[in-house]
Amino acid sequence: MREHRGKILRLQPNRVWRTYPGGRILDCMEGRTQPADGSFPEDWLGSTVRAINPGHEDKNEGLSLVNVDGKPLFLVDLIAADPEYFLGARHLSAFGMNPMVLVKYLDSAVRLPIQVHPTIPFSERYLNASCGKTEAYYILSTRPEVAEPFIYLGFQRAPVRQQLRRMILEQDIVAMEHCFDKIPVKPGDVYLVPGGLPHAIGAGVLMVEVMEPTDFVARVEFNVNGRMIPEPSRFMGRDLDFALEMFSLESFPVKAVEERWRCKAQILEEDSILRRESLVDERLTDRFRVARTIIHGQRQLRIRGYTILLVVEGCCTVATDSEKVHLSTYDRVVIPHGLGVLDIESVAGATLLECNPPES
């Protein structure tokens, strides 16, 4: 099975059920005639990970399909059939056939429940897994009806463990929210969310999430817009003490959050046609990498190995030796390691995100 070689692999829509409502803008992206918020507020891109949805089990939910000569094929199967072409020998030696990166479009209609993800040491000790769930947010847009779009990121007034335990048991949401300050967000902002850091995404935020490839999460707020999160979905089927072990109970003033976890662009190359910036790299995390390319004109672009490529503004054509494809805003493709170099052209200008595994 080599029909995928030399091709730019378009990702099909891959909506996943979640405990919070949203997805109206994702409906618009897909061209649906009656877009509406519902139970599928996330689109998983380049995913080889199954979603964990107790009570809503679907063995293939979360797994991405790509289009190869008109046939939908699971990305995970293509990688398994041709791993060195997709991931490269160095990646295979370091990480095996795990691409080590998962990307999502997330479209929130309401504030998400306060939650926390595991670190790698926690996952290794308690989850028999080599990945935690550090993630990064790239803000695409905010809904005009939301006056103050924001995120919660880390406790600004951290409770002690017993206080947090009481808040969760009693579902004292006012007390939980008092532990945070709202951090305003706008299009183009980029934040890192390390494993262990409590957080929540505010209402009306459309973002790209780039993360370690797991669906591990502990949700400590159970009522989401009138919908009760079932017990198995709160703490990954474990108990409250399991969830509490994940939390960093340290206070971080907003200024410290901005200094430590707001991602600052570092220019990789720049001229009259192209500006390429590193947004997420070893300065903040060794879990994955994110770069942004702004192009107006024609240029060859050397990719950094296996890449999930998104057009977040404008449109462009992307070509290999064997084909040329037109990409519009919010289109997304997989670029295998074996392609190496792309020819990119944009007449009116385009902004691309390149999401990559960690260095190997």
pLDDT attached to residue 27: 98
Q: 3-state DSSP call for residue 162?
A: helix
Mean of pLDDT over the chain: 96
Q: What percent of the chain has pLDDT over 90?
A: 93
Q: What is the pLDDT of residue 70?
A: 86
Q: Does residue 3 have a pLDDT over 90? A: no
The model's pLDDT over 226-237, given as tens digits with 9 standing for 90+, comes to 989 999 999 999
Cα dihedral 288, 294, 298, 300 in deg (nearest 10): -20
What is the pTM for the complete model shown?
0.96
**In this structure, what token pair is assigned to residue 176?**
């939980």
Report yes or no: 294 and 275 within 8 Å, Cβ to Cβ. Answer: yes
What size, in residues, is the chain?
A: 360
Q: How many CB atoms lie within 10 A of CB 347?
A: 12
Determine what percent of the chain falls in helix, strand and coil, rounding each to the nearest 5: 20, 35, 45
Cβ 323 vs Cβ 7: under 8 Å: yes
Question: What pLDDT band is residue 306 in, cutting at 50, 70 and 90?
Answer: very high
Q: What is residue 344's predicted lDDT score, i.e. its pLDDT?
A: 97
Cβ contact 311:352 at 8 Å:
yes
Q: What's residue 64's pLDDT?
A: 98
CB burial of 117-132 (b: ≥16 within 10 Å; e: otherwise) equals: bbbbebbeeebebebb
Q: Give the pLDDT confidence score for residue 54 in this predicted structure.
A: 83
pLDDT at 276: 97
Instruction: Identify the band that residue 1 occupies on the pLDDT scale cut at 50, 70 and 90.
Output: low
| Rg of the chain over all Cα atoms, to the nearest angstrom | 20
- Give the model confidence (pLDDT) of 73-130 as tens digits: 999 999 999 999 999 999 999 999 999 999 999 999 999 999 999 999 999 999 999 9
- Band (pLDDT 50/70/90 cuts) for residue 270 is very high
List of residues 6+ apart from 136 with CB closer than 8 A: 190, 191, 192, 193, 209, 210, 211, 263, 279, 280, 285, 288, 290
Which CA distances in Å does 139 have to 59, 187, 192, 257?
30, 5, 12, 16
In the prediction, which pLDDT does 269 show? Answer: 95
pLDDT category of residue 59 using cuts at 50, 70 and 90: confident
- What is 263-311 written as a DSSP string? ---EEEEE-SSEEEEEEESTTT-SS-EEEEEEEEEEEEEE--SSEEEEE
The domains found in the chain, sorted by start residue, are: 9-261 (2.60.120.10), 266-356 (2.60.120.10)
What is the C-alpha to C-alpha distance for residues 294 and 8, in angstroms, rounded to an integer? Answer: 20
> pLDDT value at position 134?
98
Residues β-bridged to residue 39: 22
| Mean predicted confidence (pLDDT) in 53-60 | 80
Task: Tell me how far CA of residue 174 lies from CA of 82, 85, 186, 219, 228, in angstroms.
Answer: 52, 51, 25, 16, 17
CA distance 154 to 252: 6
CB contact at 8 A, 299 and 325:
no
* Average pLDDT for 178-191: 98
Quote the CA–CA distance of 103 and 223 in Å, as a whole number. Answer: 26
